[in-house]
Amino acid sequence: MNRPLIFRQAVIQDLPRLVPLFDSYREYFGQSKDPAAVERFLFEKFEHRESVIFIAEGEEAMAGFAQLYPSFSSLSLQRVWILNDFFISEPYRHRGTGRRLLQAVKEFATLTGAKGVELSVEHTNERAWRFYEMQGFVMDEEFRHYFWKI
C-alpha cells in the first residue's frame, strides 16, 4: 500500500534519492544528465548551508523538491528567500503535490521571519504563472529585473 507523501526539509542523507529527481529537473530544462555533477553540486549546498531544500517524499521515490537560496532586503532589513528550483515528477503532477510543497516553503519563510519568497518564471510558461498566482504570488510590477551574463 502506498503511504501518503511526506513534505519536509531535506537533509544530506537524502542525496541518494534526491539526485535522480534533480537530474530529471535539469533534463526537463534541456540539460544533459550528469548525476555525478548533480551530487557534487547538491552536496556543496548542504555542506556549506548555501540553500534549503524541501522535498515531497514518496515510499518509492522523491515526488518533488523546492530549493531556496537566501537573499536580503537592505531596505526592510529582512531575509528574502529565492525559490530558485521547483519541480514535481510527472506521476505526481496535478494531484496537489506542488501546492503542498509550496505550502511547506511558505510556512518556512514565515517561521524564519522572512519578508517573503521571490521567484522567476519563464516568459512562455503560462501554466506556471497561473499556478503561482493561485498560490498567492503576485507579479512584481515595481521592478524590472536584469541579468548580466558572463
Residue 24 near residue 68, CB atoms below 8 Å: no
Q: What is the pLDDT of residue 144?
A: 76
Task: Give the containing element (helix H, strand E) for 80.
Answer: strand 78-88
Using pLDDT thresholds of 50, 70 and 90, give the confidence band for residue 2. low
Per the listing, cell 542525496 goes with: 15
pTM: 0.91
Q: What is the pLDDT of residue 82?
A: 96
Name the more confident of 125 and 15: 15
Using pLDDT thresholds of 50, 70 and 90, give the confidence band for residue 49. very high
pLDDT at 1 over 50: no
Q: Which three cell numbers stand for residue 80?
A: 528574502
Residue 64 near residue 56, CB atoms below 8 Å: yes
Residue 28 appears among annotated catalytic residues = no
CA–CA gap between residue 61 and residue 20 (Å, rounded): 9
Q: What is the mean pLDDT of residues 16-31?
A: 95
- Beta strands 6-9; 52-57: pairing state: antiparallel
Q: Among 28, 92, 132, 146, which one carries the catalytic annotation?
A: 132
